[in-house]
Chains A and B, each alone.
Chain A
Amino acid sequence: MKKRLLVILSLFIAAGMAFSSTGFAAKKIIKIATQSPLSGDQSVIGVDIKRGAEMAMEQLGAPLTKMGFKLELAPFDDMANPDTGVANAKRIVSDPAILAVVGHYNSGVQIPSSEVYHTSGLANVSPANTNPKVTTRGYLEVNRIVGRDDVQGVVGAEFAANHKVKSVFIVHDKTAYGQGIAEFFKKKAKELGMKIVGFEGTEEKANFDPLLSPIMAGNPDLVYFGGMYPQAAVLFKQARERGYMGMFLSDDGFDSSDAIKIGGKNLQEGTGTFYSTVSGPASAYPGTAQFIKTFKKKYSADPQPFAAQSFDSMGICLKAIAAAVKANHGKLPTRQAVANAVRATKNYHGITGDITFNHIGDPTVAKYFVMQVASADPAKWSSNPVVKTLDIAPPK
């Protein structure tokens, strides 16, 4: 009796194995995940990060499909929320078909989520995260193709000093990203001899009246905001309404056409509004002309900032996976091999420039821009002029 049961059982197991192995051979799916806010107040940018990756997969996926793999995009919505990002990350690493993640718009989400990628050895290429901690933790899996906040804050402070700014009131949004930039800005501004009239963090999104009292009383030449446009634009608008005529300066979190919808013509009054960014306009990258044309045709909208970076991030992932597949004699590579291949990226000829990763995953040279808000028309946001361009290597 026992013996018969054993025979039947082993038959079942054998059959099961046969089915699963044939099923496996037929599929050979490689998935690449994206994580970005697809809903919520930052979804304008997050959706285009997904679209950039989607386009890259369609255009640059040929080498892998020729090797007999089926490519799939697995978009995840991190809602710009660290908890959601980490929960998604756990789902991502538990799917063995996913070999890389393009993602995160918010450093505050990327940092905890990448802890999960790190423990599972899953490669992550970030198109937008600028907080130094993203790479300084020294994880093999984590890379980015944009610049860093410690440099962005410095770029902002130097720009301000060049425009004869003597005193500054610094506001930040209390996130890893905003506060990080603001701290670096403050440090450099002090070195350059500027007077720091105030340094405040706030989560307020509507009523900035209490904060504006010390700003107006301090009468700074510049109000610097480290954080995102839904706060910055409202603050700037309310400050102008009160009659503040000095300069506004923010970071790449301000880079969205919604900023001008909120701020309106107020932003151009006085000494004007500027923002530093790691993601310049189309014209700053010669390679993006074709990308923008295709993007417009496909999605009937202008690409938001970081869409092109996302395109390149996906490109790097695809190339690295293809290399890892080759090294593994045409078989599905391990995540470890993919992560090593991503880190080994040298002179990747992307649409935003040639990208080489250094030993911690920062690009060896990154571009930084200072832009000026030039028009009250949201449709013309992407033609804001570049006031200053800098090529800076990450700090040692």
Chain B
Amino acid sequence: MKRFLKPINVRELLRPLGQMIYFSLGSTVVLSTIVLVLALILDKTVVGAALYERMNVSLFTYTLTNLPQVTLDGLTIGFVYAAIALGYTMVYGVLEFINFAHSEIFATGAFVGVEILIALEKYGVLSHASLAMAYVYLILAIIAGMIAAGGLAVAVERVAYRPLRNASRLVPLISAIGVSFFLQDTIRLTESLTTGQFNRIIPSFGNFDHWVIFSRMTLGTAHLTIGMSVKSIIVIVSAVLMLIGLNYMVNATKVGKAIRAVAQDHPTASLMGIDVNRVISLTFLVGGMLGGAAGVLYALKFTRIDPFVGFFPGLKAFTAAVLGGIGNMTGALLGGIVLGMLETYAGAFMGVFTMGAAGTEYKDIFAFGILILVLIFRPQGLMGTNVAQKA
């Protein structure tokens, strides 16, 4: 009984929270400085003149007034990426291979959550739900998504990766890509057999679409509001809670110690009496659950999902994990936030800075260009060596 009453390690609860605030503020400061300096330089050139002609504001004012909203948008998507990136990074930590099926595990979570909500709506439960009940249903959907995705991740590991554990490192990678395609088409097949639909749309209920306005500004003829939708806030809050919980589990519990031990050395960990297979399954379970929850949150935020929904967020989250230093949990968090912010900043400002020549469509080039630069100068990723332990 005593081991359940162990005092809570407050430091491990606060540390990731501090890191998140630090990373968010840090990337905001760095990126806004870059953008504002660019705006100041370009203001006196033809770029500023073109904007003035179109909108009657100087480029600097335009950039400054848009910054807060762009930052909030960037953070929201950044936390989604971070939650998915953790799944990649945890598996890499213990097995040193990239689980490309993680994007489909994410998609499965999204589908299970959305299907449950659609079923609830069909029975008329959602439309009559009070606000509190709406949140209960949402949490129910998230938990269902987590369980399904976590279970699927464990099953995939058991079937497709464990038999290949001692094969050369390329083999499980190919197996992962195969699983990824298999799961994609399984979702597609299931959907077309049961509902006949390709697009699944999350029902609107509760107050999630409501826009919370923090402040209002005037920019030329436009009235800008700075705010977030309730669902964005839910996305950030849930992601933060999950990240703190994961960090606590890995760094402050006995199970976490086992995971860290397995990450460092399989044979030695097993000599210490750790069941390596169980720990690896557990890692997949936890990573899958995070991915599943991120899937439901993604569906909530962006409304529409389809069987291929996992591909792009999966790719971005993988990039985030590499950017931060794959195998490193703090790195995944940093990578996710930085990538989300980068792509939102690039998307929002590139159009004006290049006078429409290279607009929002090139935001990914920008984000991936930074990734290449980071990999050239810091191949281990941003946080690669700062933390000795992996998990």
Chain A residues packing against B (C-beta within 8 Å)? 39-44, 174, 195, 197-207, 209-211, 213-214, 216-219, 230, 233-234, 237, 241-243, 258, 261-262, 264, 266
Contacts and interface: CB of A to CB of B under 8 A. Distances in A.
B302 interface: yes
A105 B330 CA distance: 47
Contact of B302 (A199, A207, A242): A207
Interface string B243-285: 0000000000000000000000000000000000000000000
| List of 10 A-B pairs having minimum Cβ-Cβ separation, nearest first | A210-B347, A219-B222, A206-B302, A209-B73, A213-B348, A200-B359, A211-B360, A41-B198, A261-B201, A201-B361
B11 interface: no
Nearest to B70: A213
Contact of A262 (B54, B188, B201): B201
Most chain-A CB neighbours within 10 Å: which of B69, B70, B188, B361? B361
A242 to B, nearest CB: 7
Nearest to A204: B360
A243 B225 contact: yes
B351 A230 contact: no
B298 interface: yes
Contacts of A199: 356, 359
Most chain-B CB neighbours within 10 Å: which of A41, A195, A207, A233? A207
Contacts of A197: 54-55
A161 B108 CA distance: 46
B55 A217 contact: yes
Contacts of B301: 206-207
A211 B69 CA distance: 12
B306 A210 contact: no
Contacts of A195: 54
B211 A242 contact: yes
Interface of B: 54-55, 62, 65-66, 69-70, 73, 76-77, 188, 192, 197-199, 201, 204, 209, 211, 219-225, 229, 298, 301-304, 306, 309, 312-313, 343-349, 351-352, 356, 359-361, 363
B221 A258 contact: no
A42 B356 CA distance: 30
A230 B304 contact: yes
Given A39-B188, A213-B69, A262 B224 contact: no
Given A217-B66, A241-B229, A264-B204, 12 more contacts: A41-B199, A197-B54, A201-B361, A209-B73, A210-B348, A213-B70, A217-B55, A218-B54, A218-B55, A218-B222, A233-B304, A242-B225
B114 to A, nearest CB: 12
Nearest to B192: A39
A209 B235 CA distance: 15
Contact of A219 (B223, B298, B348): B223
A258 B361 contact: no
Contacts of A261: 199, 201
21 contacts: A41-B199, A41-B306, A44-B198, A198-B351, A200-B356, A204-B360, A206-B298, A206-B301, A206-B304, A209-B77, A213-B73, A214-B351, A217-B220, A217-B222, A218-B54, A219-B223, A230-B199, A234-B302, A241-B209, A242-B225, A262-B304
B35 to A, nearest CB: 12
A210 B360 contact: yes
Nearest to B73: A209
Given A41-B198, A211-B347, A264-B204, A216 B222 contact: yes
B198 A213 contact: no
Nearest to A301: B196
B136 to A, nearest CB: 22
Nearest to A220: B222
A320 B173 CA distance: 54
B352 A214 contact: yes
Contacts of B348: 209-211, 213-214
Given A197-B54, A210-B343, A237-B303, A174 B73 contact: no
A241 B66 contact: no
Contacts of B349: 213
B198 A203 contact: no
A205 B65 contact: no
Contact of A39 (B65, B198, B211, B224): B198
A262 B199 contact: yes
B59 to A, nearest CB: 11
Contacts of A41: 198-199, 306
